[in-house]
Amino acid sequence: MPVDRSTIWPYDERGEPRAFYYARTAHPAGAAAEEELGRREGGDALLYASGMGAATNVLLALARPGWKVALAEGCYYGTSKLLGLLADWGISYVEYDQTGPPPPAEIVWVEAPANPVLTVPDWAALRGHPGLVVCDATIATPVYLQALDEGADVVVHSATKFLTGSHDALLGATVTRDPEKSARLREFRTNAGIVAAPDAAAALLRGLETLDERMARHTESAAELVRRLEEHPAVSKVRYPGFSGVISFDVDDARVVETSTKLILNATSLGGARSTMESRSRWEGDRIPGGLLRLSVGLEDVDELWADLTQAMGRTAHDLNI
Ligand code: PLP
């Protein structure tokens, strides 16, 4: 289907706006992709300019000055940075181990699984919590988690990752079941202008068509690489939640390994058909282990990926002249 990139649509013959009249409010590709994602998640989906746009909108629309957010420790670094910046707006945060019960807070923000430490939330403990439960399900995707069924009030996605799946669209999403929250999120999104581009929304529609098959293959290859990494003498620790395509593992010199791969791109981000790997301490400092490599397993042949990893782990700083 051709993508309608219009920003305006004429009013009807009575001079009244139709379903689409100005693209910041809604546009056809966005509405179609929201419908499909909402169907997959069992809720009302809204799209945003990026995953962080979605997170920002959740906090603008649903948090209040004086509120505290209990944030899963070891979760996506950008979320903790955003919450740190919102201190000026009277929002504070505390990190906690999401495999156990959360501390008192107005909002509990979990990640399923946490990027890059790959822990999963304790849903039973969350169900008893009085606060608003937000779950970033970027890595699980609706294929492996129905977070609203588990008890989340709001699901957040960076659709930039597996949902679109090709490293060529920047996109975020929220999904809720409560009409009041959906209306408030929509109102803030439109007025703050944190909206998705039509082409990115169209990429989501295409991505959802193949999501199940892609996720099955990401998982199969990642599980096989985990088995092999666990036996490799250069690897001291492997983290993997048992589903999806992201692994993190520790080596002595992450910089040498990440710069020695050929098939696996030494690049940030995750969830694409092409595998990517990076040392996360470059961004996160000592928040995570210095030798931690985050590998997003793509759709390439698993033996070729393993050959690339083993040759990279056999290199030394001396070989590379660094
Ligand atoms: N949430 C998770 C788990 C992520 O990994 C990322 C990006 O890496 C984001 C949110 C932010 O998404 P975006 O880069 O689309 O803003």
| 268-294 pLDDT, tens digit each | 999 999 999 999 999 999 999 999 999
For the CA of 115, the nearest atom of ligand 1? 3
Query: Do you find a cis peptide bond into 28, omega within 30 degrees of 0?
Result: no
Q: Whose CA is nearest to atom 15 of ligand 1?
A: 51
Q: Does residue 13 lie in a domain region?
A: no
Q: Which of 144, 160, 162, 166 to mutate to test the pocket of ligand 1 (most atoms within 8 A of CB)?
A: 160
Q: Does residue 32 lie in a domain region?
A: yes
Is there a single domain that holds both residue 204 and residue 301?
Answer: no
| 113-152 confidence digits (pLDDT tens) | 999 999 999 999 999 899 999 999 999 999 999 999 999 9
- Return phi, psi of residue 103, to 5°: -75, 170
Is there a single domain that holds both residue 223 and residue 183?
Answer: no
Cβ-count burial of 1 within 10 angstroms (0-12 exposed, 13-18 middle, 19+ buried)? exposed
Is there a single domain that holds both residue 234 and residue 120?
Answer: no
Cα 4 to ligand 1 centroid, rounded to whole Å = 26
Read off the pTM. 0.97
Q: CATH number for the domain including 245?
A: 3.90.1150.10
CA distance 233 to 63: 47
pLDDT at position 317 is 72
Cα 70 to ligand 1 centroid, rounded to whole Å = 18
pLDDT at position 32 is 98
CA distance 109 to 100: 13
Q: Which of 73, 76, 162 to mutate to test the pocket of ligand 1 (most atoms within 8 A of CB)?
A: 76
Question: Which residues does ligand 1 sit against, CB inside 6 Å?
Answer: 50-52, 76, 78, 111, 115, 136, 138, 158, 160, 170, 172, 269
pLDDT at position 94 is 98
For the CA of 139, the nearest atom of ligand 1? 3
Domain boundary among 209, 225, 253: 209
Is there a single domain that holds both residue 141 and residue 236?
Answer: no
Q: CATH number for the domain including 181?
A: 3.40.640.10
Q: Whose CA is nearest to atom 12 of ligand 1?
A: 51
For the CA of 268, the nearest atom of ligand 1? 8
Is there a single domain that holds both residue 173 and residue 217?
Answer: no
pLDDT at position 247 is 98
Q: Does residue 71 lie in a domain region?
A: yes
Cα 119 to ligand 1 centroid, rounded to whole Å = 16
Is there a single domain that holds both residue 60 and residue 201?
Answer: yes
Q: Which of 82, 161, 283 to mutate to test the pocket of ligand 1 (most atoms within 8 A of CB)?
A: 161
Cα 132 to ligand 1 centroid, rounded to whole Å = 20
The domain total for the chain is 2
Is there a single domain that holds both residue 167 and residue 219?
Answer: no
| 8-37 confidence digits (pLDDT tens) | 999 999 999 999 999 999 999 999 999 999
Is there a single domain that holds both residue 132 and residue 112?
Answer: yes
Domain boundary among 209, 241, 260: 209
Nearby residues of 11 by Cβ (< 8 Å), 6 or more positions away: 17, 18, 21
Average pLDDT over residues 301-315: 97
Is there a single domain that holds both residue 199 and residue 225?
Answer: no
CA distance 66 to 93: 11
Please give the distance of CA 40 from its chain centroid, rounded to a whole number.
16
247 bridge partner residues = 295
Q: Does residue 22 lie in a domain region?
A: no
Q: Does residue 23 lie in a domain region?
A: no
> DSSP string spanning 245-267?
SEEEEE-S-HHHHHTT-SSSEE-
Amino acid, single-letter form, for residue 90: G
The answer to whether 307 touches 225, Cβ cutoff 8 Å, is no
Domain hosting residue 59, numbered range? 28-209
Cα 174 to ligand 1 centroid, rounded to whole Å = 13
Is there a single domain that holds both residue 48 and residue 135?
Answer: yes
> DSSP string spanning 136-200?
E-TTTHHHH--HHHHT-SEEEEETTTTTT-SS----EEEEES-HHHHHHHHHHHHHHT----HHH
Domain boundary among 180, 209, 238: 209
Q: Does residue 16 lie in a domain region?
A: no
Q: Does residue 154 lie in a domain region?
A: yes
318, pLDDT greater than 90: no
Is there a single domain that holds both residue 74 and residue 201?
Answer: yes
Q: Does residue 198 lie in a domain region?
A: yes
Q: Whose CA is nearest to atom 2 of ligand 1?
A: 76
Cβ neighbours of 26 (radius 10 Å): 18
Is there a single domain that holds both residue 172 and residue 225?
Answer: no
